[in-house]
Structure 1
Amino acid sequence: MHALIYAAFLACALLLAHTFVGYPLWVWLQARLRPQPIAKASQFPKVSIILAVYQGAELIRAKLANLETLSYPPEQIEIIIVCDGCTDATAALARNFGDPRVRVLEFTERRGKASCLNDAVATATGEVLLMTDVRQKLAPIALRELVANLSDPDVGAAGGELLLVDARSGFAHSVDAYWRYEKLIRYSESQSGSTIGVSGALYALRRDLFWPLPHGTVLDDVLIPMRVAAAGKRVVFEPRALAWDKLVQQPLEERRRKIRTLAGNCQLVQLEPWLLSPWTNPLWFRFASHKLLRLLAPWLLLGLTLSAALLATRHTLCALALVALGCGALLVVLGRLVPVLGRWLPVRLAVAFFYMNLFAAQALLAFARHRGLHLW
């Protein structure tokens, strides 16, 4: 029995180490030792900017004004606004904005972002699609830099970099630390081949590589890149294409969004089972390491804790693991009780790790209980 428990301890420890350290280190080394350059070049094909909006009256004018600042030939841009059952003035404000490039598709029934994207792309005339959200501000060169990646015939999609600003709480600093870690992984994936996801706030792809999304799809910014990769094209990360958004300041503000996003990974597997197959998914190892194992991580942590506690008096390694877990928990408690400590890097990392796994556990349970996810 002790041998079985110790084997479970080692399995949990190794899988956790691979998920949070081994895999990031592996793609980082690949990017340094065997980089795959991108043949970027200036080009200006027609671009359809697609913006799916629900109740965006407070933001739509600022977003359209921001899109007018893009350093790209104006005549090569069309802007398609899809109002998904908006009951506010979003559609009227967009129509009256005064930019002839703006087209508004208005639907009285709320159907979700995926259906909005499908309808917008069906009417798009651009060779390139730029997906963005209403909340984030884009850098003037963002579109130009993304499109430059598509001059490489091996590149099918390019994602921009989302910068999170206005960290005023310890939790916000923790979210920022986690996001920097995540972007480092994405950049390494891109430099060594393809990243498995992009930021929904800003990404571009070739029009002919978009296929209609299943109704209710939550993570278009993962499914679309995975389909691009399955078609034999690279998905790259462009750090010069910037978008800005504000950080959330407290866990409750982040909880709903994060649980929905993490549960979206479960939904992807349900909708597209080919993602689980090494024979049909060319990015299978990256998808499993970067997405699926993170959903299992809280349960691996639970298994590690229980097995370490049972064997702490028999195996030094188990005792050390239990001490490390206890120190991590203490840092989380200190970060919550003494907010000023929230900016100290060890506390930031511990708090980010704790909430990431807490939300992952809740997401898996939520999806198991109720397979339908909120449209927005």
Structure 2
Amino acid sequence: MTHIAWFICWSSAALLAHVFIGYPLLVWMQARLRPLPVARRAILPTVSIVMAVHDGERFIRAKLASLRQLDYPAELIDIVIACDGCHDTTVTTARRSTDPRVTVLDFPNRRGKAACLNDAVALTRGEVLLFTDVRQKLSPVALKELVANLGDPTVGAVGGELHMENVRSGFAQGVDFYWRYEKGIRHAESLSGSTIGVSGALYAIRRSLFQPLPAGTVLDDVLVPMRVAAQGKRVVFEPKAMAWDQPSQLPEEERRRKIRTLAGNYQLIQLAPWLLAPWRNPLWFRFVSHKLLRLFAPWLILALTVSTGLLFTRHPMYALAFGGLIGGLLLVALARLQPPLGRLLPLRIAVAFFYLNLFAAQALLAFARNRRLHLW
């Protein structure tokens, strides 16, 4: 029993160290020692902006205004908005737009984002497809900055940078901290080759590389770039192309969205099993390190807690590790009981880490219970 606990303890610790420290450090070193710069060029291809929306009446006016303010020749842009089972005023508001470039597709019954994107893309004419979501406003230079990366023939897709604004609560500040950590990894991946995924809020792809999405796909912002990489092109990150979003202020507000997104990773393996094959996926190591092992992190933490508890009396090192894990849980409980303390840096990081991993664990159960994740 002791030998099993020892193996579980050290293997869990090694994998967790690789996920959160080792892999980020490795890609950072690759970016520093063997950078692969992008040969950006100021090009102006035709661009089709594609957006799928479900009940977006709160955001659609501001989004259309944001698209009109893009610093890009208007005659080179067309916009297709696919409304997926909207029961609010999204469709009528979008159709009232005076922008002649806007085409609105109204699907009365919910079909899922992937089906809407496929139909919207079929109506477009641009050499470049720009995908964005309805909630986020875009910087005026976002499109030009993205397209400049496609001036490099080795680049097939490019993602923008998502910024959080109105970060008020301790939980939101903690999530913002981890999002900055995630963006740092993406930046290093980009500088050393290709990123694993892009932000669905803002990314562009060469039209010639786009393949229709499987029905029900949740994570188009992972599957699309992985397909681009499989076709031999780079997927890069452009921090000058910015989008702004509002974070959830409380865990309860974040739970549903995060569980759906995380469960989408399990669905991704189901839809594209080739991602697990090193001989077919050129970004296999990065995909496993950045995506798959992150999904297993809550179970690895649980295994580490149980195994160090069983080894508690064997060595002070195990007692220290067990105490640290339990101490982390107590910090989360303290932050929940005393919200003002949740703004302290150690507590807000602990709270965000706890909930993001809790949601990852719940995502597996959610996917096992409900495969119809695509219905928003």
1:166-185 equivalences in 2 (<5 Å): 166-185=166-185
Q: Partners of 2:86 and 2:364 in 1: how far apart?
A: 30
Following TM superposition, by how much is the alpha carbon of 1:352 offset from its aligned partner in structure 2, in angstroms? 1.5
Which deviations, in whole Å up to 9, do the C-alpha atoms of 1:100-128 show, x marking residues without a partner?
A: 11111222221011001100111110000
1:331-370 equivalences in 2 (<5 Å): 331-370=331-370
Which deviations, in whole Å up to 9, do the C-alpha atoms of 1:296-326 show, x marking residues without a partner?
A: 1111111111110011101232112112112
Aligned AA for 2:42?
S
Aligned match of 2:323: 323
Aligned match of 1:141: 141
1:1-376 equivalences in 2 (<5 Å): 1-376=1-376
Following TM superposition, by how much is the alpha carbon of 1:339 offset from its aligned partner in structure 2, in angstroms? 2.0
Which deviations, in whole Å up to 9, do the C-alpha atoms of 1:88-147 show, x marking residues without a partner?
A: 332222222101111112222210110011001111100000000111000000000000
Which deviations, in whole Å up to 9, do the C-alpha atoms of 1:197-230 show, x marking residues without a partner?
A: 1110100000011100011100000000100010
Aligned AA for 1:330?
L
Following TM superposition, by how much is the alpha carbon of 1:263 offset from its aligned partner in structure 2, in angstroms? 0.3
Aligned AA for 1:231?
Q
Provide the aligned C-alpha RMSD in A: 1.1
Q: Tell me the secondary structure at the aligned position of residue 152 of structure 2.
A: coil
Which deviations, in whole Å up to 9, do the C-alpha atoms of 1:27-61 show, x marking residues without a partner?
A: 11111111110001111100000111112223212
Aligned AA for 2:291?
K
Q: Partners of 2:363 and 2:186 in 1: how far apart?
A: 22
Please say if residues 335 and 351 of structure 1, whose CA atoms lie closer than 8 Å, have aligned partners that are also in contact: yes
Q: Partners of 2:143 and 2:177 in 1: how far apart?
A: 27
Following TM superposition, by how much is the alpha carbon of 1:358 offset from its aligned partner in structure 2, in angstroms? 0.4
Please say if residues 113 and 374 of structure 2, whose CA atoms lie closer than 8 Å, have aligned partners that are also in contact: no
Following TM superposition, by how much is the alpha carbon of 1:357 offset from its aligned partner in structure 2, in angstroms? 0.8
Higher mean C-alpha deviation, range 105-114 or range 255-264:
105-114
Q: Tell me the secondary structure at the aligned position of residue 365 of structure 2.
A: helix
TM-score by length of 1: 0.98
Q: Tell me the secondary structure at the aligned position of residue 215 of structure 1.
A: coil
Q: Partners of 1:335 and 1:180 in 2: how far apart?
A: 22
Q: Partners of 1:297 and 1:89 in 2: how far apart?
A: 41
- The runs of at least 4 consecutive aligned structure 1 residues that moved more than 4 Å come to none
Aligned AA for 1:103?
T
Q: Partners of 2:67 and 2:299 in 1: how far apart?
A: 44
Kindly tell me the number of residue pairs found equivalent between the two proteins.
376
Q: Tell me the secondary structure at the aligned position of residue 129 of structure 1.
A: strand
Which deviations, in whole Å up to 9, do the C-alpha atoms of 1:44-84 show, x marking residues without a partner?
A: 10000011111222321211111110000111100111111
Q: Partners of 1:223 and 1:44 in 2: how far apart?
A: 26
Q: Partners of 2:89 and 2:79 in 1: how far apart?
A: 18
Please say if residues 174 and 342 of structure 1, whose CA atoms lie closer than 8 Å, have aligned partners that are also in contact: no
Q: Tell me the secondary structure at the aligned position of residue 348 of structure 2.
A: helix
Q: Partners of 1:359 and 1:58 in 2: how far apart?
A: 27
Following TM superposition, by how much is the alpha carbon of 1:374 offset from its aligned partner in structure 2, in angstroms? 4.3
Q: Partners of 1:271 and 1:49 in 2: how far apart?
A: 26
Please say if residues 115 and 213 of structure 2, whose CA atoms lie closer than 8 Å, have aligned partners that are also in contact: yes
Q: Tell me the secondary structure at the aligned position of residue 225 of structure 2.
A: helix
Please say if residues 196 and 222 of structure 1, whose CA atoms lie closer than 8 Å, have aligned partners that are also in contact: yes
Aligned AA for 1:324?
G
Following TM superposition, by how much is the alpha carbon of 1:285 offset from its aligned partner in structure 2, in angstroms? 0.8
Q: Partners of 1:278 and 1:258 in 2: how far apart?
A: 28
Q: Partners of 1:25 and 1:326 in 2: how far apart?
A: 27
TM-score by length of 2: 0.98
Q: Tell me the secondary structure at the aligned position of residue 235 of structure 1.
A: strand
Aligned AA for 2:148?
A
Aligned AA for 2:353?
F
Q: Partners of 1:241 and 1:208 in 2: how far apart?
A: 22
Following TM superposition, by how much is the alpha carbon of 1:237 offset from its aligned partner in structure 2, in angstroms? 0.5
Q: Partners of 2:15 and 2:108 in 1: how far apart?
A: 47
